[in-house]
Amino acid sequence: MSLLDMIGPVMIGPSSSHTAGACRLGLVAHHLLGEAPRRAVIGLHASFAKTGRGHGTHLALVAGLLGYAPDDPRLPRAFEEAEAAGLGVEFRDVDLGDVHPNTAHLEVQGDSGRVTVQGSSTGGGVILVTHVQGLGVNFSGAAPTLLLRYTDAVGMIARIAATVAADGVNIATLTCTRAARGGQALVAIELDAPLSPEALSFFGRWPDADWVRLLPKLMDG
Amino acid sequence: MTTLHDLMNAPAPASAWVLAQDCAETGLDPQDIRAEMRRRIGEMRASVERGLASDARSITGMVGWNAKGLWDAPDALDAPLLKRVQAYAMAVNEENARMGRIVAAPTAGSAGTIPGALLGVADHLGLPDEQLVDPMILAAGVGKAISKRMFISGAAGGCQAEIGSSAAMAAAAVVELLGGTPRAAVHAASLALMNTIGLVCDPVGGYVEVPCVSRNAFFAVHAVSAAQLALAQLESFIPPDEVVGAMASVGRLMPAELRETAEGGLAQTPTGLAVTARMEGRGEEGGMIELPMA
């Protein structure tokens, strides 16, 4: 929480939680997809489903998918922009269970890959991403975040941390979950600075890792 | 953790102390923060100007003409500061309600209070925007100190947490703008907060339009009143951090119906229910709703 979070963000209204936060959730999916989105199915839970339309939540989520920041003047025209960009979006009301009332689940498809992201908009434009690719995570986008999916094995986190350290970058937070022992695992690491392209491509060449992304910092402060 | 008590006893100007503390904590450069605050004041100014000039309806159709209506109306009370502060605050919130560009301060629903109070007072006195940068940093510092103890959203603690925080931030900023001490600035914040405790968040249909637009006008004036009291050396009898604690405890006692769920208060009046039903029943195409009143 910095001073710029208190006087800010600069944003297109009307609601920091329903609009700016929704846009940032879309932005997470945009960056994690890593290519132009072609089709998205967006599930809206509770308050997002109930009062989202009048709050521009739908527009903001689509704007985020297109890579627009919460203050982008194109945000209110996001549906037209999506059509022009060849992105088809379907909205569904969903019950995601006992989660924050402002929660969205996004499944986004590009030409070569797909990503699923679930996250909550917790107030003042702040978000908490809780699932990526179906696995549990816990990050806010306030710092550059490394996401790496790999096959669970002894010593993987130590190897990942060693590579980050060799790049001269400090780890702020780390969450790791796995579907099953020896199954797919996902680590999300919030960093004090972005990783170098060399470190990222090094991870990309790991035989045990099948998906690597660096989410840039999304918050102002 | 920085408290209002720390802030109150900081060396003057309080904003310089806030900036130094924040940069030590986040590692950000003070000059970058000042430059960004300057830019954000410009954004606030632009949203005030657009809001005063437009009477276009909001997405739901409940608001959109209030700021321009007041701005263009004769000054019945011969109180130009009052009218300016109210019109600026509503201009920002109506711009917000019609999906215009605003600065959340601290939230979008309370975005008009600080520009209403701070820009309104500055314009009334003919002070340039450059003099608003430090007061704005102090406002942010007050908001940060409050948010350490309590969430600043209506959903968490009712409107007392949201517009109460913005009014407290604005009151402190006005005190610094007018040369008050850190002690006076924090007492202004405390007085503003103290007089907001218990305020529910009951937006009609769940939208930050009614009562939010007029509520920002009222609380911008409220902030200026608190600044006036504190500049005359009046103080909050209850220590500022204890006032924040009281607000937090009231927020926890408040039923969910009164915390931005649209399940209580104004949202549950016959008109509020009619608006809610029409908004929920609206088709994919959107469009304005018909208001039930004449």
Are B144 and A1 a contacting pair at CB < 8 A?
A: yes
- Best B90, B148, B207, B212 member to test A by mutation, with max A CBs in 10 Å, is B207
The tens digit of pLDDT for each residue in A9-51 reads 999 989 999 999 999 999 999 999 999 999 999 999 998 998 8
Which pLDDT does position B284 carry in this prediction? 38
Same domain, A98 and A44: yes
Phi/psi for B154 (5° steps) reads: -60, -30
Q: At what angle do helices B133-149 and B30-53 cross, to 10 degrees?
A: 100
Is residue B15 within 8 Å of B135, Cβ to Cβ?
yes
Are A6 and B169 a contacting pair at CB < 8 A?
A: yes
Same domain, A121 and A166: no
The tens digit of pLDDT for each residue in B192-214 reads 999 999 999 999 998 999 999 99
CA angle A188, A190, A191 (to 5 degrees): 135
Are B58 and A14 a contacting pair at CB < 8 A?
A: yes
Cα A37 to Cα A87: distance, rounded to the nearest angstrom: 6
Instruction: Using DSSP, state whether B291 is helix, strand or coil.
Output: coil
Q: List the single residue in B with minimal CA-CA distance to A1.
A: B144
Contacts by residues B20-27 (CB-CB < 8 Å, ≥ 24 positions apart): B21/B141, B22/A2, B22/A3, B22/B140, B22/B141, B22/B144, B25/A2, B26/A2, B26/A221
The tens digit of pLDDT for each residue in B40-86 reads 999 999 999 999 999 999 988 999 999 999 999 999 999 999 999 99
- Host domain of residue A149: 145-215
Confidence at B273, pLDDT banded by 50, 70, 90 = very high
Q: With an 8 Å Cβ cutoff, is A121 touching chain B?
A: no
Sign of CA dihedral B12, B14, B15, B17: positive
Is A140 within a domain? no
Give the mean pLDDT of B102-119.
96
Name the one residue in this structure whose structure tokens are 């820009």: B119
User: Where among A132, A162, A197 does a domain terminate?
Assistant: A132
The tens digit of pLDDT for each residue in A170-198 reads 999 999 999 999 999 999 999 999 999 99
Same domain, A105 and A153: no
Which pLDDT does position B170 carry in this prediction? 98
C-alpha distance from A17 to closest chain B C-alpha (Å): 8
| DSSP-derived pairing of the beta strands A103-109 and A114-123 | antiparallel
User: Where among A132, A165, A188 does a domain terminate?
Assistant: A132
Average pLDDT in chain B: 92
- Give residues 158 to 217 of B whose Cβ lies within 8 Å of A: 169, 205-209
Same domain, A197 and A91: no
Is A220 within a domain? no
Is residue A193 within 8 Å of A149, Cβ to Cβ?
no
ipTM metric: 0.91
Which pLDDT does position B103 carry in this prediction? 97
Q: At what angle do helices B159-177 and B133-149 cross, to 10 degrees?
A: 150
For residue A154, give every residue at least 6 positions away whose Cβ sits within 8 Å of its Cβ, in sequence order, or none: none
Is residue A157 within 8 Å of A136, Cβ to Cβ?
no
Are A20 and B103 a contacting pair at CB < 8 A?
A: no
Q: List the single residue in A with minimal CA-CA distance to B135.
A: A7
Give the mean pLDDT of B250-278.
90
Is residue A219 within 8 Å of A151, Cβ to Cβ?
no
DSSP code at position A195: P
The tens digit of pLDDT for each residue in A120-132 reads 998 889 999 999 9
- Give residues 3 to 42 of B whose Cβ lies within 8 Å of A: 18-19, 22, 25-26, 28, 33, 36-37, 40
Cα B205 to Cα B116: distance, rounded to the nearest angstrom: 25
Whether cis (ω within 30° of 0) applies to the bond prior to B240 is no
Whether cis (ω within 30° of 0) applies to the bond prior to B270 is no
In angstroms and rounded to an integer, the radius of gyration of the C-alpha atoms of chain B is 19
CATH of the domain at A172: 3.30.70.260
Is residue B199 within 8 Å of B164, Cβ to Cβ?
yes
CATH of the domain at A37: 3.30.1330.90
Per the structure, how many domains does chain A have? 2
Is residue B142 within 8 Å of B22, Cβ to Cβ?
no
Task: Kindly state the helix (H) or strand (E) to which residue B42 belongs, with its residue range.
Answer: helix B30-53
DSSP code at position A18: I
Same domain, A16 and A97: yes
Instruction: Using DSSP, state whether B281 is helix, strand or coil.
Output: coil
Task: State both tokens at B278.
Answer: 């029409």
Domain limits, chain B: 4-282
- Give residues 114 to 133 of B whose Cβ lies within 8 Å of A: 114
Is A189 within a domain? yes
Are A54 and B207 a contacting pair at CB < 8 A?
A: yes
Residue B108: which of A16, A51, A101 has the nearest Cβ?
A: A16
Same domain, A113 and A149: no
Same domain, A128 and A41: yes
Residue A10: which of B103, B106, B153 has the nearest Cβ?
A: B103
pLDDT > 50? residue B287: no
DSSP line for B142-211: HHHHHHHHS--SHHHH-HHHHHHHHHHHHHHHHHHHTT--HHHHHHHHHHHHHTTTT--B--GGG-TTTT
pLDDT > 60? residue B294: no
DSSP line for A79-131: HHHHHHTT-EEEEEEE--SSS-SSEEEEEEE-SS-EEEEEEEEEETTEEEEEE
Cα A209 to Cα A159: distance, rounded to the nearest angstrom: 12
Confidence at B220, pLDDT banded by 50, 70, 90 = very high
pLDDT > 70? residue B291: no
Same domain, A58 and A114: yes
- Number of A to B CB contacts under 8 A, please give it: 146
Q: How far is CA A189 from CA A137, A174, A216, in A?
A: 9, 4, 12
Q: With an 8 Å Cβ cutoff, is A4 touching chain B?
A: yes
CATH of region B4-282: 1.10.4100
pLDDT > 90? residue A86: yes
Confidence at B149, pLDDT banded by 50, 70, 90 = confident
Same domain, A198 and A91: no
- Give residues 47 to 106 of A whose Cβ lies within 8 Å of B: 47, 50-51, 53-56, 59, 71, 73, 75-76, 101
Are A14 and B156 a contacting pair at CB < 8 A?
A: no
Same domain, A118 and A187: no
User: Where among A103, A132, A161 does a domain terminate?
Assistant: A132
pLDDT > 60? residue B286: no
Is residue B35 within 8 Å of B29, Cβ to Cβ?
no
Which pLDDT does position A221 carry in this prediction? 67
Q: Which residues of B touch A2 (CB under 8 A)?
A: 22, 25-26, 28, 33, 144
DSSP code at position B133: H
Are A2 and B208 a contacting pair at CB < 8 A?
A: no
DSSP line for B59-128: SSSS-SSHHHHHHHS--TTS-HHHHHHHHHHHHHHHHHHTT-EEE-SS-STTTTHHIIIIIHHHHHHT--
Q: List the single residue in B with minimal CA-CA distance to A91.
A: B284
- Best B45, B101, B166, B169 member to test A by mutation, with max A CBs in 10 Å, is B101
Give the mean pLDDT of A194-209.
95
